[in-house]
Amino acid sequence: MSRATAAPALSAPFAAPGADISLTREDMKFISALVYEQAGIVIREHKEAMTRGRLARRVKALGLSSVAEYCAFLKTPQAASELPELINAVTTNHTAFFRERHHFDHLRKDVMPRLVQERSSRRGRIRIWSAACSSGEEPYSIAASCREALGHRNDVDFKILATDIDTDILARAEAGIYPAELIDRLPADVKPLMKLEGAGRGEVRMADEMRRLIAFKRLNLIEKWPMGGPFDVIFCRNVFIYFDTQTKASILDRFVALLAPGGFLYLGHSESLPQPHANLRLIGRTIYERTP
């Protein structure tokens, strides 16, 4: 088995001093297959350097001496508890408050006023799902966008379900603490929608009135989902880019089954349906309506 060209040693905190973080082609294939099987994420060949860096964190955390040793460990039965850590290490969690602003404008101005009016008359439910919520910026932006329409009424049962496969990032989302500068940088018209508390040291914490609207749960999109729906809105943004066509198509079918007729699905800016779907109609930039 030929060893890939030795990588330049990564600086701390990623690699243990002296750890060999080179990755053979065979180990890269093994890791790619494992990550695909566990999370549906396709690691493309050109991502090898990034993968090596991410595995190096696990090498360090486990006190191993090389990526090769880590891969050998993953092949043993004792490695079952390491699999979530591997997935946490390889996920890309980039996100931002009010990222792809047009979705939040659509939700706040077109969707929520109508839903609240419709549901309040029969004390109904409104359910929104943030299906790959990363560190929480997306569900908190959803909460902020919905507060106006909800007002102080208690005749609507409103909840946001926020899920992600990555348990580390989910813990951060649930804590709801962010650098204050992220909020300072928000456009002037959306900043007042956020309800915050001071957390000290240049940080802010999402206020209880925002946090209690959200339930955070670990959920792997390629596994069975425990929820019965229906959802009025599903955000599934910037995660399809990591999946292949087959995985996307199967998840989309399951979204459609959970979406209420007239409900909306928001995808990420570079994402589209793998093929036209009989029950999804494009009504705006990456906004799909569930048809009856």
Q: Are 147 and 210 in contact (CB under 8 A)?
A: yes
Give whole-number Cα distances, 272 to 236, 260, 265, in Å. Answer: 11, 20, 11
Handedness of CA 274, 287, 146, 99 (dihedral sign): positive
Instruction: Verify whether residue 155 is a known catalytic residue.
Output: no
Beta carbons of 254 and 229 less than 8 angstroms apart: no
- Cβ proximity to ligand SAM: between 20 and 137 the closer is 137
Residues 37-66 that bind ligand SAM (CB under 6 A): 39-41
Interface of this chain with ligand SAM, residues 185 to 224, rule: CB under 6 A: 220-222
Interface with ligand SAM (CB under 6 A), residue total 24
- Rg of the chain over Cα atoms, rounded to whole angstroms, equals 21
CB 13 → ligand SAM: shortest distance, Å? 20
Shortest Å, Cβ 18 to ligand SAM? 30
Site for ligand SAM contains 132 (CB under 6 A): yes
Site mask, ligand SAM, residues 64-103, x = CB under 6 A? ---------------------------xxxxx---x----
Of 213, 268, 231, residue with least CA distance to 102: 268
CB of 279 to ligand SAM, least distance (A): 22
Beta strands (DSSP E) in 188-258 are 196-200, 203-206, 214-218, 231-236
Q: Are 115 and 126 in contact (CB under 8 A)?
A: yes
Distance of closest approach, residue 20 Cβ to ligand SAM, in angstroms: 28
Nearest to 94 by CA among 270, 245, 234: 270
Query: Rounded to whole angstroms, how far apart are CA atoms 43 and 109?
Result: 38
Q: Which of residues 253-272 bind ligand SAM (CB under 6 A)?
A: 268
Measured from the CB atom, the residue of 9 and 61 that comes closer to ligand SAM is 61
Q: Which residues pair with 164 in a beta bridge?
A: 218
Of the two residues 66 and 247, which places its CB atom closer to ligand SAM in the complex? 247
Nearer CB in complex with ligand SAM: 92/279: 92
Distance, CA of 205 to CA of 179 (rounded, Å): 9
Known active-site residue 54:
yes
161 binds ligand SAM (CB under 6 A): no
Residues with catalytic function: 54, 164
Binding site for ligand SAM (CB under 6 A): 39-41, 91-95, 99, 132, 134, 138, 164-166, 169, 220-222, 237-239, 242, 268
